Chains A and B, each alone.
Chain A
Amino acid sequence: MAFFLQASNWGLQTFLGRCFLFQPASTCQKSLALMVHLRSRDQVKGLPFTTSSQSAVPQDLRGVHMLHKSRSGSRDGEKEKRKESSREEDKKKSLMSPFSAGAAKHRSVRQRTPTSMRLPRLSKKDDIQPPEKPLNAEEWQEWRTRLKHLTNFETVMLRRMIKYESSIDVAKSLMADVVLRNGEVKYNLLLGYLILCVQQKQVAEIFDIYDIIKLRFKTLDPGCYSLLIRGLSDTERWREAILLLKEIRKVTPPSKGNYGYCIKGALNNQDVKLALELYHEMVAENVMPHMDVLQAFFDTCKGTQDDKLKKELLDMLLYFRENQLYPNEAVMQSIKLWFESIPGEKWTGRLTSMENGWGCPVCNQVLETIELSKKEYNILKKKIMKNVMQGNDIFKKTTPQELKRFQDFMENRLPYDIVLDGLNIVRCVSRICGYNVCHPELWHTLCYPTDLSSRSKSELFDVVSYFAQQNLRLLVLGRKHLNEFQFWKWNAMTARQGKVDFFFTENISQDDPFLVYATLHSGNNCKFVTRDLLRDHKACLPESIQQLFFKWQRGHQLMPFASRTKKIYFAPILSYDTVVQTTGDTWHIPYDDHLVERYSYEVPRKWLCLRRK
């Protein structure tokens, strides 16, 4: 909530700051400061992407009110300072890879995406507070008459009790009342009562209900089985939970929760062998285990001498690697402690972040490269052609003639060094007025006089010439309507240098697949420039290839973005692959910071480095 307000606040701030009406360091500045209680980005508490170690200032929400009275007149100096610090911040951000955790959040804030404030949903039913203490039959009767409009009084009542976590005695009195009236309790009421018991971990009650249900019904529904498994797994009757798991399997494959509770139950009772069996079973059924299950494994097996077991746990880490899973902070801690507890092997674990872009600062181990192997490369090429370009109907994205034209075009011109998505660059970069082009690796700055009238044409031109100056072979992809920008003028100019090629698809075709295709076919050194995350194209691929594609994308996509200082940066490309990796004597495990919200198309930034002395 507070975050949203903050975001909108910066939005306003940057918007006003960028308007021509509000030139910086003018008198407008004062009025702006009067209007909005400004606050720079790095001082906001609890924002997921602050990398600086500055202490956060507790925020007051008065800044939200537009007509907030200013309390002091000396804002200007302060603001200047803040501007400076935010510039620093920008520089730091610009050095962050676009695929590292929190980057998307940062981008969305920079782009001033409006965030809608959600109103709390009003429930249709009036909220009924369940009674506080056990009632007898007459009192329940009173309740019933009071709530005549409910057709299924008991069910609703139980649901309310579950919601408000009433004491178990109240529910008991209700059940007793039901038995007294009808002589029996229906299955769904028993279920409701069971939920309440499981919720409050009333072991004795769970046993009783379990016995009743077993007596009364031959088979149960999967929901009930799941509840019972959850209830029984951390009691002395945990073995029965395992039996229930077998019962579930008759109808549907068990869920990850079912497996998880059983495994935890087995681990709590030191039956590691059974837990491992169950774990292998669920992996074989393609059910992803929950993180806390894995954590339980590492916690339970601390200080183990058993080599076989050790191997199993290391296999679990490799399972992380194969499925591009990343442990969260709690699991990471468990892993670290487990490693350090192995007798006879002196492991030391340190937390770090790979700031230098090539390896681990703690042990100077060079991390695995992000480049794909030859074989993987060929698979990816094939799949891109088959699934993304052609799909189930080639005409959805292009036509065979166009594809042929493109392939003929590429045949003699390969390989390129940079492939640019012309339309994307024109669209994204045109937000900025005057700017310079910067590449963080080179810090090579170019300044152009900005001519406002011809701006829309010049962005792409600038970006292209920036790359052309570095003696790189370029391919610019676009649609035919890009031609309105009088490309022929400078097309002729750059074609003379023989560095830039253009390819225009039909206006009704998609140009992204061509971009990917051209980059892939140019080989490993080719990069592409677009701000598009290519998620829809990634989705066309089968699951296993998606990970390959993502790896390739991380290693080859240059994402331009503009800083507030009117420069264009290209986010750096990390040369290492963010994945669980080992050399035998070292383990490097990326993990999720619990403060940072990581999207599915991002990778963690923090690492656990483990070393054996």
Chain B
Amino acid sequence: MSIFNMLLRNVVRRSVFPFAMKERRKNGLFLTSFYKTFPHRTLNLSPCLKDAEPNPSQKLNLDEWKNVMKSRRQEEICEPTSKCEEDSTLTAMREFVEMRRLASRSVPKNVTEEALKTLMELPTKSSRLKYLKFLAEKEKKINARKAKQEKKKQDQEELLGTVEKRDTDELKNTLLRRFNINTMENLHSWRAANAMIFGQPLVFDMVYENCMSRAELGNAVDQMMECEGFNRKSVDPFHLHYCNLSVDGPYHKGFSKRYGEAWDKLLVTVTEQCYTNLFPRDRLIYLTPDSRKIMTTFEHDKIYIIGSLVDKTGQPRSSFAQARRLNLPTAKLPLDKYLRWTSGRKSLTLNQMLCILLTLKETGDWKKALQFVPQRCYDGFVDVDLLSRLNDAKF
């Protein structure tokens, strides 16, 4: 909306303003306090501006604008806060944010108390600016989404108007009632329930909750939700286990906040216990990008473990160390074997891992499974058959 308004304003300004100005100038009504038009030009004798057609009015008002500025009242940046108990540091912070906004930096328009307090807690200047930027981006996204929804609403209303004109008395002859979302949900839940009884277990190791920052943890929770959703919708779901999940730990809090009521009805096994207590050791395989062993085939009788860790700060070998501590066999995906890797780290996100494993479970086709690796990381698949033939020819 606001963009539209601005456009309109610009158009009006550009089309109408010049004419208006001319008109006004003729009438001599135009802000004569600091802008005077002269009926004739005087000669300018400065040698450096020979080709410039000097305009004495210009010369005059070059510094005039400052006086205009000075004559204006001081702007109140902050609306006088009604809360007297708000301490001075918070006010200073608020002013800081406000001034950054005036300097057209990326800061959010509305800063909540909570965000300000978080800002205060951040230790360095750069971390504060980063956080502000993050908030600004978030705000932008939310606003964009709202605008989109508004538009959708309007379109729907228009559509409805046309629909209402139609005759609604006549019933269509159909075999089935229209599928609604609940029908599908039901089906997925049945499948998930089935998997809970008969499915192959897949373990998420939730032990890393304390070595992640707040942002990373939020991302991890999002990824876990994606995992659960994708798993539920598949033809043959895994039986998901969230192991080592401490009650009222950061992960637990994150899940309860995001899932709300649904958390207790989720068709996954959540446990505080370690996977080594739940399953026989010889069937466990820990998937970690630092492993030296490359996974060749997906084994249906093994239990794969994924460390649910989002690691932006680059602490390598965390999950590897965990596997080593428990003395478990490890494996990594054969990314280099099948993909011509170009850039990016080889630790994939949790939902990518789950998609890959599910596809492998259903088809056993690596090429199909590795479609889920982000396209930006590689530039095509390695022709494995050709390579193997070449190797055969060599030896």
Contact = CB atoms under 8 A, between A and B. Distances in A.
Q: Binding site of B, secondary structure by majority: helix, strand, loop or mixed?
A: helix
Interface string B31-60: 100110000000000000100100101100
B102 A184 contact: no
Interface stretch (B270-278, B315-323, B356-364): B315-323
A399 interface: yes
A80 interface: no
B93 A251 contact: yes
Contacts of A133: 49, 52
B103 A184 contact: no
Contacts of B75: 216-217
Contacts of A179: 34, 64-65, 68-69
A219 B99 contact: yes
Contacts of A425: none
User: Closest 5 CB pairs between A and B?
Assistant: A395-B321, A221-B99, A179-B65, A187-B102, A188-B104
B176 interface: no
Contact of A253 (B35, B62, B125, B321): B125
A136 B18 contact: no
A252 interface: yes
6 contacts: A137-B21, A176-B62, A186-B102, A221-B96, A221-B105, A251-B96
Interface stretch (A17-25, A207-215, A355-363): A207-215
B93 A185 contact: no
Contacts of A181: 17
Nearest to A507: B292
A224 B35 CA distance: 30
A166 to B, nearest CB: 14
A396 interface: yes
A336 B275 CA distance: 69
A212 B69 contact: yes
Given A187-B102, A399-B324, A507-B292, 14 more contacts: A133-B52, A151-B6, A188-B102, A216-B75, A217-B102, A219-B77, A224-B99, A251-B96, A253-B125, A393-B325, A395-B322, A396-B317, A396-B321, A508-B324
B324 A218 contact: no
Contacts of B57: 136
Nearest to B14: A145
B308 to A, nearest CB: 17
Nearest to A208: B66
Interface residues of A, number: 53
Contact of A175 (B65, B318, B320, B322): B65
Interface of A: 133-134, 136-138, 141, 144-145, 148, 151, 155, 169, 172-173, 175-176, 178-181, 183-188, 191, 208, 211-212, 215-224, 250-253, 392-397, 399, 507-508
A172 B64 CA distance: 10
A217 B6 contact: no
Nearest to B317: A396
Contacts of A187: 99, 102-103
Contacts of A145: 14
Contacts of B99: 187, 217, 219-221, 224
A172 B62 contact: yes
Given A134-B62, A144-B14, A212-B66, A396 B77 contact: no
Nearest to B211: A392
Contact of A218 (B18, B63, B72, B95): B95
Contacts of B18: 138, 141
A180 B34 CA distance: 8
A187 B35 CA distance: 22
Nearest to B324: A395
A218 B75 CA distance: 8
B69 A185 contact: yes
Interface range on chain B (Cβ under 8 Å from partner): 35 or more
B108 to A, nearest CB: 15
B103 A221 contact: yes
A223 B102 CA distance: 12
B291 to A, nearest CB: 8
Given A155-B104, A212-B70, A395-B325, A148 B317 contact: no
B69 A184 contact: yes
Given A133-B52, A191-B103, A224-B103, A396 B68 contact: no
B70 A211 contact: yes
Nearest to B18: A141
Contacts of B92: 219, 250-251
Contacts of A220: 99
A221 B100 contact: yes
A180 B31 contact: yes
B269 interface: no
B74 A215 contact: yes
Contacts of A138: 18
B35 A180 contact: yes
Contacts of B125: 222, 252-253
B61 interface: yes
Interface centre among A183, A395, A399 (most CB of B within 10 A): A395
Interface in B200-219: 211
Given A179-B68, A215-B74, A395-B324, A508 B103 contact: no
A94 B94 CA distance: 60
Contacts of B320: 395-396, 508
A176 B65 contact: yes
Nearest to A132: B52
A179 B68 CA distance: 8
A220 B97 CA distance: 10
A222 to B, nearest CB: 8
A216 B74 contact: yes
A181 B61 CA distance: 13
B8 to A, nearest CB: 13
A369 to B, nearest CB: 37
A397 B70 CA distance: 66
Contacts of B77: 217-219
A511 B70 CA distance: 70
A518 B325 CA distance: 24
Contacts of B58: 134, 136, 173, 176
A567 B211 CA distance: 49
Nearest to B104: A188
Interface centre among A151, A155, A187, A211 (most CB of B within 10 A): A187
Contacts of B72: 184, 215-216
A528 to B, nearest CB: 24
Interface centre among B17, B31, B317, B318 (most CB of A within 10 A): B317
Nearest to B75: A216
Given A169-B62, A173-B62, A393 B321 contact: yes
A116 to B, nearest CB: 14
A145 B76 CA distance: 34
Contacts of B322: 395
A295 to B, nearest CB: 26
